[in-house]
Structure 1
Amino acid sequence: MGMVVEAVFFDLYETLITEWENGIKKADYNPARLLGIEEDIYKREWGKRREQRMDGTFPDAKSCLVDMYRVLETPLNMDDIKKVIENRIQAKAIPFKSIDEEVIETIIQIKEMGIKVGLISNCAPEEVLEWENSPLANLFDTVIFSYKVKCAKPNKKIYEIACTNVNVQPKNSLFIGDGGSNELFGAREAGLKAYHATWFQPPVISEKITGFPKLKKPSDILTIIKSKG
């Protein structure tokens, strides 16, 4: 007798929804251009603050951008910041508009097996405003947004919160994600069985992550659950 699967936890971006289509970002969003900051400087400063955006240290994009201006000693332009935030909200809403049918179907089938379904997402508030309006929202037994719980993947604690919320043991749980933020290592560390979701990933990115079983399509999860029993 293998493990009994009591819960399946999913990552959000590039696992359940994707920002890409045919190798191109769905949204035309260029904050550096809007702010008049050089691209590489913007990327560096925004990237530096990633963890603090995810764990809620910066409560929103505005506070993060204001901090970037402060460090760069650039005169603050609140109109530009406002425009960037509006654009960012629109860009982050687009992936929610077209959700892969197989993703939804797979989640429904997992639930029909009497298995709990949870979401564990590293995100800032403006990235998930459309979640509530998406067909995914009412399918989940627990939804963990990192900024709300003040803790982000790969921290063991975020997986433990998810398991506690639906009253399951980590050892009886699967975690499915594209591997960003070292989330698969974090899940394994917390005692969950981690699987690498590659259906939205180009092979060149997918191949960089090793040591975890790869899933080619969402319905592969059903095969795994059945094989565990």
Structure 2
Amino acid sequence: MRPLPSRAVVFDFFGTLTDPAAEQERRPAFAATAGVLGIDPDVFYTAMAGSFPQRIVGAYGDTAATLLAVAKACGASPTPATLEAAVRTHHAGAERVRRPREGALDTVGTLRRLGYRTGLLSDCSSELCEAWATTPYAPLIDVPVFSWRERRRKPDPALYATVAARLGVPANECWYVGDGGSREHDGARRAGMRPVLVTNVAYPGVAAFRTDPDGFIPPHKVDELSELPALLSYSGD
């Protein structure tokens, strides 16, 4: 049977809309925050990496509360002024890590002009949520859904149902586009969406930054987002 025409495209964020190579800047960004807090950067990085599953579901609260909790776990007791400075530094580092992928913003804009609704489904911590409105992505995404706000992480089926419901589009009329972390494509498939893998073949080594890699490989693939409008058109829309 011919698939239903799609009316929405839901994107992963990190490594999909963002520059995959920017993930290499996360450790230096954490080191800058550690410096403000007076914590050994390796100790701080280990604590931040280890707390990732909790941070992305809002277990620690906002960025200030998160940094305070992690600092205390590392044996530091920052003053309010130091914590405030650390939050500013941490947000600046997060901005570098989320720089846009080349052509990503243009591609999302093209899809909107073609009539697609656009959604986002991101496993993320507080920094992205707090800065979202000021990012260049915000005007192009109709419905952003963040794990930190929803207190759930991919591939929880509730997240896919949430983004589809807020888009006002049935899941079987949504594409899901991501680089394959967090078992996101299997989650999208189970939710009834049509998954697309962004292979990132031009970015060797970035697969090491994926968490919980997906065992399901979608039949639809693109190497770069700029190929996406043609793929969707070719696939029957």
TM-score (norm 1): 0.82
Separation in 2 of the partners of 1:33 and 1:197?
A: 35
**Which residue of 92, 95, 120 maps to 1:93?**
95
1:217 aligns with 224
Q: What is the CA distance between 1:142 and its match in structure 2? A: 0.9
Code of the aligned partner of 1:155: D
- Structure 1's 201 and 169: CA in aligned 2 closer, same or farther, altered over 3 A? farther
Q: Which moved more, 1:138-147 or 1:194-203?
A: 194-203
1:144 aligns with 145
Q: Which moved more, 1:114-123 or 1:207-216?
A: 207-216
- Structure 1's 108 and 56: CA in aligned 2 closer, same or farther, altered over 3 A? same
2:65 aligns with 63
Q: Deviations over 1:154-190 (max 9, x none)?
A: 2111111000011222222111112233322322232
Count of residues in correspondence between the two structures: 226
Separation in 2 of the partners of 1:44 and 1:124?
A: 16
Separation in 2 of the partners of 1:24 and 1:206?
A: 11
Separation in 2 of the partners of 1:62 and 1:35?
A: 12
Q: How does 1:139-218 map to 2 (within 5 A)?
A: 139-199=140-200, 202-206=203-207, 211-212=217-218, 213-218=220-225
Separation in 2 of the partners of 1:221 and 1:19?
A: 17
* RMSD between superposed Cα atoms in Å: 2.9
TM-score (norm 2): 0.79
SS for the counterpart of 1:77 is: coil
Code of the aligned partner of 2:223: K
8 Å CA contact 1:131, 1:137 repeated in 2:
yes
Q: Deviations over 1:169-218 (max 9, x none)?
A: 22221111122333223222322222222348623444976623432111
- Structure 1's 116 and 28: CA in aligned 2 closer, same or farther, altered over 3 A? same
Q: Deviations over 1:91-138 (max 9, x none)?
A: 122356x63562222222222332211111222232344432333222
Q: Which moved more, 1:170-179 or 1:208-217?
A: 208-217
Q: What is the CA distance between 1:36 and its match in structure 2? A: 4.1
Code of the aligned partner of 1:182: R
Q: How does 1:6-155 map to 2 (within 5 A)?
A: 6-18=7-19, 20=21, 24-25=24-25, 28-29=28-29, 30=31, 31-72=33-74, 74-78=75-79, 79-94=81-96, 99-100=100-101, 102-155=103-156
Code of the aligned partner of 1:224: L
Separation in 1 of the partners of 2:124 and 2:201?
A: 19
- Structure 1's 75 and 56: CA in aligned 2 closer, same or farther, altered over 3 A? closer
- Structure 1's 116 and 205: CA in aligned 2 closer, same or farther, altered over 3 A? same
Structure 2: runs of 5 or more not aligned: none
Structure 1: runs of 5 or more not aligned: none
Q: Deviations over 1:12-69 (max 9, x none)?
A: 2221123735x85289421344444444433332223222221222211232233234
- The percent of aligned pairs where both chains have the same amino acid is 23
